[in-house]
Structure formats: structure tokens, C-alpha cells
Amino acid sequence: MPEDTPLAPGLYLVATPIGNLGDITLRALDVLRQADRIACEDTRQTQKLLNHFEITTPTVSCHEHNERHRATELIEAIKAGGRVAVVSDAGMPGISDPGSVLAAEAIAAGVPVIPIPGANAALSALIASGLPTAEFVFLGFLPEKAGARRTRIEELAAQPRAAAQTLIFYEAPHRILETLSDIESVWGPALHAVAARELTKLHEEFLRGPVADIRKNLAARDRIRGEFVLLIEAPVGAPGPEGTWEGSAPARESISTRVARLQAEGLDEMDALKRLARELGQSKSELYRELQRERAKRK
Ligand code: SAM
């Protein structure tokens, strides 16, 4: 689309960089310049991008709390001949970000919806992960609460697979260790995983290998910085009768077995958990929760 082609009325879903400003596309810049309005997840965040590229298009907020209400107003503007661009703070709108409600409502109202592709953290991580790309499942963020997250991971592991599948998650730096530890407990320490950090930025990093090694590598750092995409190679087949993956990825010895062994050496349960927490690089409360889950399963 040459720059001087006038933009047709419609809703333009515009991808923006996930770190490196050089990843904005020529078409994205053109749409952002020509649009009548830019609906932003956070107007202050987008303003920095617009200032950098000397774009003066007015912005309006459109986030998870007002997306539905804003949709009505923006769709009316498009019906009257307006051109509305939608951006999130980073990457593709609608991908673990606002944008999909607006798109669905615009489609229902018969308004043209036009994607303007560009950066996306999940796909950028996938193509450089070395994990299978023929079949992959994007799962966004896992639940924040420990119990719900563990249950979700167990559900994913319980699904039988006819072919190896790469599962892709988004994760925050303060939860990455707990998530890796849950994945390790469910699929076993040898499960092949990749943690992609700070994609497209100065300190971009890929940690590839058994999930236990990635967890230990991150646990040994003073501070875990940056945003993560976590990918795992979910093995072919189905878990064993106990829900373990002993075939394709050796399952970790259960916490109850380890605690029982330490108790036989004379430690009480709390001291045994403390010792295990040190050895496994996990928190005592995490291990206590795991112990309770194992006991509940046996009942
Ligand atoms: N819409 C975005 C996209 O298309 O990728 C995703 C937005 S979601 C709210 C933010 C999450 O994406 C982060 O918590 C992180 O998991 C992942 N992410 C975004 N930018 C990243 C980057 N530069 N490196 C690694 N992960 C990133």
C-alpha cells in the first residue's frame, strides 16, 4: 500500500513492536498516520511510540474494562466513514491483550476489519525455539493462583497426543520458577523446554533443554528480569495410570516418597520439607502444597 493511498473506512488491528522499535512495519506506520483515531490499551504507552515516529493521530483508551462500551462508539464512527486503528501495549492486539471483543463486534456490525501484521512474542519465540512447529498450541497466561495453575497443567498433560506438540505460554518473571516447577512435577524433569526472555531486546536470551535445567539456571540468578515466553514439547502418547510420564520423560520422585525417606532418617515433616526445598530450589510452601495434593490423590 503506497503511503499516498487513502485509507478506506474500517477497523485496523495494528501490531506494534515487542521491544525493538525497528520491528514496526511500514504499513503499520502508514495506518497509524492516516487513521482518524487510535484506540490504545494504554494511551501513555502508545504515545511514546507515536512520539518516536512523529505521528500526531489522536488516541483514545480501549482496555479490558471499557472495550465493550468503546466498541459501540468506535463502530458508529467507522459506519460514518471513520478509520480506526487499534493497538495494544506491545505485539498483536487481541493476543493476551484487548482487541478481540472490538473485532468481533465490528464483524457483527458489518464493518470491515483489517489485520496489520507484525511482531508477536509467541511466534517469535516458537520459530527460534528449535521445538516442533508443525503443531503448536498457544495457551496465553496460566492461572495466577497456584492451585488453579497446577490443575491446568495437569489437564494439559492428561491430554493424549498423536504427534509431538509445542505448547506456548506467556509468563511473568515473578512466576516463572513456580510454573517451571509445576511443569517439572507433572511431566518430569527431562521434558524438553525453552524459555525465551527479552525477545528482540538487547538482552534477548533463549534457555533450551530439560525443564529442570532451565529452572535451576534461573533459580541461581540474583534476580529474574524481563518477560518470558515458555515453550514445552508435549510428548506423544498418554500419561500412565498414575498420571505420570515415566515413558517419554522420567517423572520426578514424589515429594511424599522423599519426605518419608527423610522422616525415616529422623527428621520431622517440616524439617524434611525445608531440606527438600533447598535441594530442589523450590519454596517450602510450594512443596507442602505438592505434598498435600499427592496425599489427596491417594485418598
Ligand atoms: N500482544 C502481545 C503479543 O502479541 O505477543 C502479548 C501481550 S501479553 C499482555 C504480554 C506477555 O507477552 C508478557 O508477559 C510475555 O509473556 C510476552 N512477551 C511480550 N513481549 C515479550 C518479549 N519481548 N520477550 C518475551 N516475552 C514477551
Co-location of 229 and 273 in the same domain: no
Enter the pTM of the model: 0.83
pLDDT at 155: 94
Q: Is residue 108 part of a domain?
A: yes
Average of pLDDT values for 191-208? Answer: 97
Ligand 1 site, residue 198, Cβ cutoff 6 A: yes
Share the mean pLDDT of the chain. 91
Cα separation, 158 vs 182, in Å, equals 14
Measured in degrees and rounded to the nearest 5, phi and psi for residue 50 equal -65, -40
Q: Are residues 104 and 60 in the same domain?
A: yes
Shared domain for 210 and 271, answered yes or no, is: no
Q: Is 248 within a domain?
A: no
Residues 6+ apart with CB under 8 A from 91: 15, 16, 17, 18, 97, 118, 119, 120, 121
Q: What does the pLDDT read at residue 250?
A: 42
Asked if 112 and 127 sit in the same domain, the reply is no
- How far apart are the CA of 286 and the centre of ligand 1, in A? 26
Indicate whether residue 59 lines ligand 1 (CB < 6 A): no
Q: Which domain holds residue 100?
A: 10-119
| Contact 86 CB / ligand 1 (< 6 Å) | no
Query: How many Cβ atoms are within 10 Å of 107's Cβ, its own excluded?
Result: 12
Binding site membership of 120 for ligand 1 (Cβ less than 6 Å): yes
Span 121-138, mean pLDDT? 96
Does the C-beta of 121 come closer than 6 Å to ligand 1? yes
pLDDT higher at 288 or 197? 197
- Position in ligand 1 atom list of the atom nearest CA 198: 24
Domain finish residue from 237, 267, 290 = 237
Residue 223 counted as domain residue: yes
pLDDT value at 247 more than 50: no
Distance 18 CA to ligand 1 centre (A): 7
pLDDT in tens, 254-275: 788 788 888 888 889 999 888 8
Q: pLDDT tens, 54-98?
A: 999 999 999 988 988 899 999 999 999 999 999 999 999 999 999
Distance 289 CA to ligand 1 centre (A): 29
Q: Is residue 244 part of a domain?
A: no
Residue 1 forms part of a structural domain: no
Q: Does ligand 1 lie within 6 Å of residue 19's CB atom? A: yes
